[in-house]
Structure 1
Amino acid sequence: MDNDVAIEVGEMLEKVQGGLFATKSCCYRVPHIIRQLNEDAYTPMVVSIGPLHHGNSRLVFMEGYKQIYCQYFITRSEASLSDLVSCVQQLEPQIRACYSEKIDLTADELVEVIFIDCCFVIELFLRYQEGTTEDDVILSKDWMDARISHDLLLLENQVPLFVFENIYNRAFASRLQLHGGRLPSFMWFAADGYFAYFNKQQVPSPDASSVAHFTDLLRYFYLPPSHTTRRLRLPLVLGHSASELVEAGVKFQVTNKSTHGCMLDLEFEHGTLKIPHIEADDATEIFLRNIVALEQCHYPKEHYILDYVIFLGHLMKTVRESL
């Protein structure tokens, strides 16, 4: 007599996707234990990119705008719509493997979502660089432009960078600089164009192969270009607040790193703690939280930004909190 439970368990296990040792994932949903600290910091407010927030009722109004941008992009592309869609279809298994959780979309549905979203972003970058703003429904409204740029940097709102590059390269194959043309790479439009504002430390643009997506690009902006992998997994030890350190005789000095400086370049020398100057605004917390979430998921041995946030947290503790 067959064991019905064993049969059901076997069928269930056959449907399991991925594994404990998957190494291709780079797009993540923020773990609940991190997300619950500030739900809004990880949730797109205006536009969804990729499958994780696709269909969100709060973001549906942007779908029409994305499709209009997609039409403009196809018009300026030297490749046909069929060629561009085929490009994404060929990459579909690779794209799906980049998400750490199961995507409940068919292959065709995922291709459609990725294609529309990527074309929208590429067209947005091109129009931004061209200064096409007067009649543009997005770029003509400062609040919408700013909010979209923030949404594009959220960890849960990512499409792997190689997808953008493949579509972009196929669309403008004969005009790219690498083929003797005048059109720069997609990475240039991202790092030196649309997201240049966030590169406060003016670090050189990264090689596209070294960046997984836009959240990873933001992390690159915060880190020194030649950071090294930590050799030992030692805990960050600092048990005193700034006020306690001052009472103990420690002096604080703000340093200005003008060229290719890094906010992580902390120095303690002759009783003086030197901390690089940073510019913070309303979005700083959002960006740091998303980079920290990326490090927790993707860089478990290289969590430099997390260490920095913990360091500042200790310094800012009040006497009451230290007790």
Structure 2
Amino acid sequence: MAGSPEFPGEAWLTSIKIEQSKKPLSNWSIWRVPNNLRNLDEDAYIPHLISIGPLHHGTKNVLAMESHKLHYMLALLDRTPDPVKAVDDCAKAIQRFDKHIRACYAEPISFTESDFAKMLFVDGCFIIELLIRYSMRNLGLQEDPVLTTWMVSTLRRDLALLENQIPFFVLEWLFKVIMMPSAIGRSLAALPELAFGFFKPVLFMKKEKFGVSKRTITHLLGLIHDSCLPPSRGRDPKGKRAWQFMHCATVLSKAGIEFEKDTSKDLFDLKFERGILKIPPLRIHDSTVSLYRNLIAYEQRFQGSAQYITSYFILMDHLIDTPKDVELLVQKRVLENDWGGWEEVSDLFNSICKQVVVQEFYYAGLCEEVNQHYNTEWYRYKADFRRDHCTNPWTIISLIAGSVLLVLTALQTVYSVLGYYQ
């Protein structure tokens, strides 16, 4: 039609390609928790004391820690031979890789290059000084108000939030530039070891467990995630096939399946042997609730992450259906409950994996073994017999007395028959 505007398809496509070419390739490792997970327990993903990185920077509830950040930053610089040169070198390194750092975040960062670099520098210096002071807490630093028990516990919680991260390579740059030229820096352990030592009290594992991952550390939460993974990460070939969950703990117990606390150092090393499900103990308290939720959120989006933790809590969700299941597992010392009542713990497990997708379930083979045992009639009859006749001493005594009486009666009958024929 004459005079009608031509659709500018070619011009639009060209401008979009030019705009896209300006952006670095995304390698997201830090993002906001999706609303479907956040709505289940919003508090588990929000910092209580300190903000790290851009996503919660400037929010009211964390402003009080800004002065402590600056104090720690200056204390870290005082450890260097030349603080001015250290700041200059760090600023140049951060600004040089500005695009690479921004590409780690799933959403655009509104800070200018200078403001963003300064924020990363202050936050990174605070984390490094905190890790150093914690590792040296027996050397006269007990009067530091940040190292009080409740603040350290809250800092562990906040530094393990998915939305409260900066890339780990930024921390390593700062550590290398600021600490390595100093005498104390050369005497310290590597940065990942310092970080693991700080988080170890909430991980409940031996120190030698650290270092199993050969992948690049994304950030502090990623370091925690990789240190939690089992040493041998062979994928269960049944994980991608159709599989069925096992029944809850009380139902399995009634069918004769026993539960036993395992002494394995690996939280995910569950075994089923001769009718006994062996589970390493899991401790539930305030810090771990937030930690586990953030680890699951991390696994949901990070493509390089194995879903062991998600698989583990999906399995535990099916083992724990009611408060009675919690009571049973606590009695068997599989669960160590320092958090709430049995009903609260049950609600936690029933909600922790809602809205969660697992692409490969790592306990499919274990579920199949348990279900085969559960569905075997002989084991069911054996369990029924134990439940009906071996539940208390009087029942056992009655059973023995009845058996003896039956044997004596049979013997008397045999002797009578033999006497008759003689």
TM-score, normalisation: structure 1 = 0.85
Which residue pairs with 2:54 in the alignment? 51
Deviation at 1:213, TM superposition (A): 1.1
**151, 159, 180: which one aligns with 1:173:** 180
Deviation at 1:305, TM superposition (A): 0.6
Q: Does 1:159 align with 2:166?
A: yes
Deviation at 1:4, TM superposition (A): 8.0
Is the 8 Å Cα contact of residues 230 and 301 (structure 1) preserved in structure 2? no
Once the two structures are superposed, residues 144-173 of structure 1 have per-residue CA deviations (whole angstroms, 9 ceiling, x without a partner) of 221112100111111111110111101133
Query: d(CA) in 2 for partners of 1:59 and 1:265?
Result: 38
Which residue pairs with 1:120 in the alignment? 126
**82, 88, 94: which one aligns with 2:100:** 94
Cα gap change, 1:40/1:243 in structure 2, threshold over 3 Å: closer, same or farther? Answer: same
Is the 8 Å Cα contact of residues 176 and 185 (structure 1) preserved in structure 2? no
Give the partner amino acid of 1:187.
P
Which residue pairs with 1:185 in the alignment? 190
Deviation at 1:316, TM superposition (A): 0.8
Runs in 1 of length 4+ with deviation above 4 angstroms? 1-19, 229-232
Cα gap change, 1:209/1:245 in structure 2, threshold over 3 Å: closer, same or farther? Answer: closer
Deviation at 1:198, TM superposition (A): 3.1
Q: Which moved more, 1:89-98 or 1:157-166?
A: 89-98
**286, 292, 298: which one aligns with 1:288:** 292
Which residue pairs with 2:111 in the alignment? 105
**202, 216, 226: which one aligns with 1:220:** 226
Is the 8 Å Cα contact of residues 49 and 157 (structure 1) preserved in structure 2? yes
Query: d(CA) in 2 for partners of 1:245 and 1:123?
Result: 50
**Could you say what secondary structure the match of 1:154 adopts?**
coil
Cα gap change, 1:221/1:183 in structure 2, threshold over 3 Å: closer, same or farther? Answer: closer
Cα gap change, 1:239/1:188 in structure 2, threshold over 3 Å: closer, same or farther? Answer: closer
Once the two structures are superposed, residues 210-243 of structure 1 have per-residue CA deviations (whole angstroms, 9 ceiling, x without a partner) of 3211111221232223323566534663152111
Query: d(CA) in 1 for partners of 2:37 and 2:171?
Result: 29
Give the partner amino acid of 1:248.
A
**Could you say what secondary structure the match of 1:138 adopts?**
helix
Deviation at 1:135, TM superposition (A): 3.5
Deviation at 1:255, TM superposition (A): 1.1
**Alignment gaps of 5+ in structure 1:** none
Q: Which has the higher helix share?
A: 2
Cα gap change, 1:16/1:32 in structure 2, threshold over 3 Å: closer, same or farther? Answer: farther
**229, 240, 251: which one aligns with 1:233:** 240
1:139-150 pair list within 5 angstroms: 139=147, 141-150=148-157
Which residue pairs with 2:75 in the alignment? 72
Aligned length: 314
Which residue pairs with 1:256 in the alignment? 263
Query: d(CA) in 1 for partners of 2:118 and 2:214?
Result: 24
Which residue pairs with 2:63 in the alignment? 60
TM-score, normalisation: structure 2 = 0.67
Query: d(CA) in 1 for partners of 2:261 and 2:22?
Result: 47
Is the 8 Å Cα contact of residues 134 and 198 (structure 2) preserved in structure 1? yes
Q: Does 1:201 align with 2:205?
A: yes
Is the 8 Å Cα contact of residues 53 and 156 (structure 1) preserved in structure 2? yes
Is the 8 Å Cα contact of residues 253 and 273 (structure 1) preserved in structure 2? yes
Query: d(CA) in 1 for partners of 2:22 and 2:304?
Result: 19
